[in-house]
């Protein structure tokens, strides 16, 4: 399921005792903007109240640890710490587990706040972190191969072979992948077609679906890369959208491959730090650390 909008967190100093709730609402510009935007910062005081759209975590939009900033992720855990000692505290973890779709955060909610031994909690968190990061890395690599192919006007069959090399077992046969990619070409021409769903490329989608969509873009661009320009508003992923824009502008294939390899490495490194920060903040909440101390944990993972 693909969403068009995302709610952001706003961080409000609690020392003012202002009962008003600040709300950050942002609509995604699908072709350029990050999927989550956040106002405020963590640099003024460790004493904050965090709210989301009027009620604590009410109808929370999908989170994405890969793309959300450190401040937004810290705000999420600080908000849990703020509420956990109140009357709502007994149910907040359960409620969040039911509504949060982000894989690593769900894992922490499901393990940290149980009676499981701390050493086992940490070990499982590290395994989950490494598993997800490997998954994200491969998916970004698949996007990078498709972008190289588009820029180089590569034969789609060669691209398919390159993508298959990222798996011990290909997620689908070549014939099935091409049949579905060509079917997608026909589907987007249908009246009323949901282009935001059909054309979305996302690091959270299953490998087989991602391969088909990337193959579609390679096939679609081969006749004329400029045809891709009208598809940019629907591509969803910042990484892939930027790459398509550069390919349309005739950047060299080797440059694109090198450029996005660097972005991939930086993205994975930062996501690893965000996961580590989440674990430490969640453990601090479990250990009933003061709000200010949980806040200090967050600040240790930020440059400012």
Query: Which of the two residues, 167 and 43, has the higher pLDDT score?
Result: 167
pLDDT of residue 161: 96
Other C-beta atoms closer than 10 Å to the C-beta of 268 total 15
Instruction: Read off the pTM.
Output: 0.78
- 193/288 same-domain check: no
pLDDT of residue 2: 26
- 184/222 same-domain check: yes
Mean per-residue pLDDT for 167-177?
93
The token pair at 70 is: 């450190």
Q: Please tell me the distance from the alpha carbon of residue 27 to that of residue 18, in angstroms, as a whole number.
A: 27
Per-residue pLDDT band for 62 (boundaries 50, 70, 90) equals confident
Percent pLDDT > 70 in the chain is 80
Decide if 133 contacts 272 (C-beta within 8 A). yes
Q: Please tell me the distance from the alpha carbon of residue 134 to that of residue 136, in angstroms, as a whole number.
A: 5
Sign of the CA dihedral running 138, 142, 143, 145: positive
Q: Please tell me the distance from the alpha carbon of residue 304 to that of residue 301, in angstroms, as a whole number.
A: 9
- 211/119 same-domain check: no
Q: What is the pLDDT of residues 261-281, one digit of tens each?
A: 999 999 999 999 999 999 999
- 283/259 same-domain check: no
Q: Please tell me the distance from the alpha carbon of residue 50 to that of residue 14, in angstroms, as a whole number.
A: 9
Q: What is the pLDDT of residues 216-250, one digit of tens each?
A: 999 999 989 999 999 999 998 999 999 999 999 99
Query: Domain tally for the chain?
Result: 2
- 123/217 same-domain check: no
Report whether pLDDT(121) > 90: yes
Report whether pLDDT(35) > 80: no
Q: Is 302 helix (H, G, I), strand (E, B) or coil?
A: coil
- 176/113 same-domain check: no
Please give the residue range of the domain that contains residue 155: 135-265
Q: Is 21 helix (H, G, I), strand (E, B) or coil?
A: coil
């Amino acid at each position: 399921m693909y969403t068009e909008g995302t709610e952001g967190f706003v961080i409000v100093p609690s020392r003012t005792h202002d009962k008003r709730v600040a709300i950050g609402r942002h609509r995604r510009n699908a072709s350029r903007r990050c999927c989550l935007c956040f106002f405020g910062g963590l640099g003024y005081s460790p004493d904050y109240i965090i709210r989301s759209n009027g009620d604590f975590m009410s109808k929370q939009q999908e989170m994405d640890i890969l793309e959300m900033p450190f401040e937004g992720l810290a705000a999420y855990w600080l908000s849990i710490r703020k509420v956990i000692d109140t009357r709502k505290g007994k149910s907040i973890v359960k409620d969040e587990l039911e509504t949060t779709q982000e894989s690593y955060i769900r894992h922490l909610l499901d393990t940290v706040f149980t009676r499981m031994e701390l050493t086992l909690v940490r070990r499982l968190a590290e395994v989950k972190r490494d598993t997800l990061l490997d998954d994200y890395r491969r998916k970004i690599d698949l996007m990078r191969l498709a972008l190289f192919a588009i820029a180089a006007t590569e034969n789609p069959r060669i691209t398919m072979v390159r993508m298959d090399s990222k798996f011990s077992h290909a997620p689908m046969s070549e014939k099935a992948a091409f049949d579905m990619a060509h079917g997608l070409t026909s589907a987007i021409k249908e009246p009323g077609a949901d282009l935001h769903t059909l054309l979305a490329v996302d690091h959270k989608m299953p490998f087989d679906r991602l391969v088909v969509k990337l193959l579609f873009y390679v096939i679609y661009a081969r006749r004329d890369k400029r045809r891709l320009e009208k598809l940019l508003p629907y591509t969803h992923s910042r990484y892939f959208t930027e790459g398509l824009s550069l390919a349309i502008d005739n950047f060299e294939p080797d440059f694109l491959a090198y450029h996005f390899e660097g972005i991939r490495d930086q993205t994975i490194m930062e996501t690893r730090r965000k996961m580590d920060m989440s674990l430490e903040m969640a453990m601090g909440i479990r250990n009933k650390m003061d709000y200010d101390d949980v806040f200090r944990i967050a600040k240790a993972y930020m440059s400012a």
